[in-house]
Amino acid sequence: MTDGAGGISRRTTLKLAGAAAALTMLRPFAWAEGKSGLHGLSIFGDLKYPPDFKHFDYVNPDAPKGGTMRFSVPYWVFNQNPQTFNTLNSFVQKGDSPPRMGLVFDTLMASAADEPDAVYGLLTESVAVSDDGNVFTFALREEARFHDGSRLTAEDVAFSLHVLKEKGHPNISQVLREFVAAKALDPTTVELTLSGKQSRDLIFTLVGLPIFSKAYYSTRDFEASTLEPPLGSGAYKVGSVDAGRTVNFVRVADYWGTALPVNVGFNNFDVIRIDFFRDRQIAFEAFKKGDTTYREEFTSKAWATEYDFPAIKAGKVKKYLVPEEARPDIQAWYPNGRRSKFSDPRTREAMGLCFDFEWTNRNIFYDAYQRGQSYFEKSDFAAEGLPSAEEVALLEPFRGQLPEEVFAAPVPTPKSDGSGRDRKLLRRASELLTEAGWKNDGGVLKDARGEAFTAEFLIDDDVFTRSLSPYVANLKAVGIDASIRLVDPTQYNVRVNDFDFDVVMNRVSLEATPLDGLDLFYGSEAADKPGTYNLAGIKDPVLDALIAKVPAVQSRAELVTLIRAMDRILRARHYAIPNWTQPNHRVAHWDIFGWPAVKPDYAFTPELTWWFDKDRATEIGMAG
């Protein structure tokens, strides 16, 4: 979808720490009884799958095992980098690690991709919840093993959660602020205690975090950058590694959890090979030759004009659209509000007026996109129309702190005349910049100190240049000295983590029920914590107050009301400049795969649910 931007979409990344609010005597979960406790947890409503379920509905339980899937990743999290890597430590801030290191580690529970907020036992056989919702006691499966044959115990769980809170990547450690302790009661029983001020979703973050071997890390530095394959317990382990170029995840033949209901139909490839390319065209050429066998296309020009190579014409490569997930989503440019030149919302609004989406979509993107509007696009959390009575009740106490636009229809992104330089919009941009205190000095905007208004767009791939160049030209037309700075992927990650940029582009796909993590994107505290997702540097006390209400919501309807109110504020303050969106994944692959008949609403992970089809591969000469 993104014409160059990647996405963030893993559950353990997006279920992040919520603001403090008491959960006194609140039973936040629905469940069904298993033989010795709860077999699953759900935030709102009943669980879809009963205690004796055999597999999820969206997998093929009879999928054959074998073959290799070779691809470049379409999304990544934490310190991961899709273009290069220099460490296999994926859960700290230091270094650049390969995506999908999560394949190596098991978790307490596993998400169901056809439910918006449900998890079922993986390492966990059953779980008990205290009446106040603050203590969770997990009974672990006695058969759980690490890849070296050693037993996975409650001590390993306790160690893992504590070390992640203390030393993990900021987007993990910040999640765990209201996690108090993990205590091993015996080798197969671990008790997790929360503070009582947590979001009701925090437990879903905890049960989705990787479990490490305490013994393994007793002789190793957890935070070290290292290319030593870590000891895990998951369905895959790290195989051959060519630093910065290729990493192979090899299926564990005697994986202890193969027959678990949450694993049946998953983990079908013998090898999942991830290839790393610094240049998109080189990556595309590798796909055309069959060096990589699966590709998600993020460049509309390539999708429209370049998928005409011989293998396509011969029917050896297939291309089609796959519906995207029903999750809140935004792709945007983020002016860094920590820098005074971007601190005035009128300045940010003016910058947004200079982007001519209609011209760009027609002339560069082959009319592939729609204009993004909401910070929660593609979901029922996006504000629409006049605020409901419930929204007004939330917003009214803060009326004196909010723009009047918050109490009207949500502020739309501007629509141009499609000329590429809409004079009406540029004139309005100039007026807003003047109101914000910028003075035009011979065609160059300057502040009260006489310093020119510069705006550097930081990118790590030249593909962005096509869409940014006309935008930069329009910014220059109103007196902003805009430019594009291309840096290598490692430098890019460091600068973004340190908030060392003027403007960056990013795409974020949130969980279907985003109870946790909103503060890391939009909360004031995160604005000063390097490595978090608050790229815009938002510090808004009203947003903080609304985020603080999230833990106490009693229904999805309440959550919708709350987030719609937030959306109205975010849009009225112009913290980001939404660019474009589309409803589908653009998928191409060599015709060597099979896949389930049903795609779930909340995930798309071909590397986990597809399989190698030997007959198809033989037919096109790729069975070897």
SS (H, E, C) 203-223: HHHHCCCCCCCHHHHCCCCCC
- State percent of the chain over pLDDT 90: 82
Higher pLDDT, 463 or 297: 297
**Tens digits of residue pLDDT in 36-45:** 489 999 987 6
Helical (H) or strand (E) element with 302: helix 300-305
**What distance in Å separates the CA atoms of residue 468 and residue 486, rounded to the nearest whole number?**
12
Residues 6+ apart with CB under 8 A from 12: 77, 102, 107, 172, 205, 208, 209, 210
Strands 481-486 and 454-459: parallel
* pLDDT of residue 8 exceeding 50: no
> Three-state DSSP class for 457?
strand
Q: Does pTM surpass 0.95?
A: no
21 pLDDT tier (thresholds 50, 70, 90) = very low
**pLDDT score at 77:** 84
**What distance in Å separates the CA atoms of residue 408 and residue 544, rounded to the nearest whole number?**
21
**pLDDT score at 22:** 25
> In 3D, which of 530, 515, 127 has the Cα closest to residue 328?
515
* Average pLDDT of the chain, as a whole number: 91
Mean pLDDT of the 158-165 span: 98
**Tokens in use for 23?**
């959960």
Q: Where are the domains of the chain?
A: 339-374+416-498
**Tens digits of residue pLDDT in 302-319:** 999 999 999 999 999 999
> In 3D, which of 131, 193, 192, 179 has the Cα closest to residue 18?
179
Mean pLDDT of the 144-170 span: 97
Tokens 């490595």 belong to residue? 531
From residue 151, how far is each of 118, 126, 142, 193 by CA, in Å?
A: 27, 18, 8, 24
**Tokens in use for 226?**
């290292």
Task: Count CA atoms within 13 Å of residue 588 on its CB side.
Answer: 24
**pLDDT score at 7:** 38
**Tokens in use for 608?**
């986990």
**What is the rounded radius of gyration, in angstroms, for the C-alpha atoms of the chain?**
24
**Is domain 339-374+416-498 classified as CATH 3.10.105.10?**
yes
Mean pLDDT of the 332-360 span: 98
**pLDDT score at 45:** 67
Q: Write down the H helix ranges in 314-446.
A: 345-353, 357-363, 389-395, 423-435
Residues 6+ apart with CB under 8 A from 614: 64, 66, 67, 623
**Tokens in use for 87?**
């460490």
* pLDDT of residue 401 exceeding 90: yes
**pLDDT score at 517:** 79
Q: Among 41-50, 375-384, 519-528, 531-540, where is mean pLDDT lowest?
A: 41-50
**Tens digits of residue pLDDT in 71-129:** 999 888 888 988 899 999 999 999 999 999 999 999 999 999 999 889 999 999 999 99
**Whether 165 contacts 176, CB under 8 Å:** yes
Helical (H) or strand (E) element with 185: strand 179-186
